[in-house]
């Protein structure tokens, strides 16, 4: 008695394999859209965490971190008493040029637009608001230096 093993799987046509591969690629791409991504800027994240802690130690109440809308992002939104404070955090490992100087006119205008979008939620009257800048200078292997500039600039419009 002889036994013959027969492959019972049907042959897969090339076009079916291409369709499968394409579905697989699209599925992976779609899933990647919803996976949490590792931080793109670890030093920036550490600086923002340190700035938030600094502000809390000063008595500010952090309302939102990394507020995003179609107009851009605000690093920290906090309350200092009744005043709403929009905080831009600049973290660098060096101090020349000063991180605060990198919040130039174009950046100020962009921050103002995002802040106005955030304030539009409040209706009228809107709470008093201001812009602060927190610079975190964090040289490699050394303790960070924090410089906080309240009222760093006025709204550009």
| Domain limits, the chain | 42-153
Q: In which order are the strands placed within the sheet that holds 72-80?
A: 61-69, 72-80, 83-92, 129-137, 145-153
Torsions phi, psi for 83 (to 5 deg): -90, 135
pLDDT digits (tens, 9 = 90+) for 42-75: 889 999 999 999 999 999 999 999 999 999 999 9
Is this model's pTM higher than 0.75 or not? no
What pLDDT is attached to residue 7?
Answer: 45
- The CATH number given to 42-153 is 3.40.1350.10
**In terms of pLDDT, which residue wins out, 16 or 20?**
20
**What residues are paired with 64 via a beta bridge?**
77
């Amino acid at each position: 008695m002889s036994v013959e093993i027969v492959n019972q799987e049907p042959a897969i046509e090339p076009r079916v394999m291409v369709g499968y591969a394409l579905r697989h690629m699209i599925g992976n791409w779609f899933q990647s859209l919803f996976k949490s991504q590792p931080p793109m800027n670890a030093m920036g994240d550490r600086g923002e965490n340190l700035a938030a802690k600094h502000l809390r130690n000063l008595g500010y109440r952090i309302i939102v971190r990394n507020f995003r809308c179609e107009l851009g992002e605000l690093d920290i939104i906090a309350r200092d008493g009744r005043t709403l404070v929009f905080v831009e955090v600049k973290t660098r490992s060096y101090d020349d040029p000063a991180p605060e100087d990198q919040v130039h006119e174009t950046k100020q205008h962009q921050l103002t637009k995002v802040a106005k979008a955030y304030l539009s939620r409040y209706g009228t009257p809107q709470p008093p608001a201001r812009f602060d800048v927190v610079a975190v200078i964090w040289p490699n292997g050394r303790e960070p230096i924090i410089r906080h500039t309240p009222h760093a600039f006025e709204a550009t419009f």
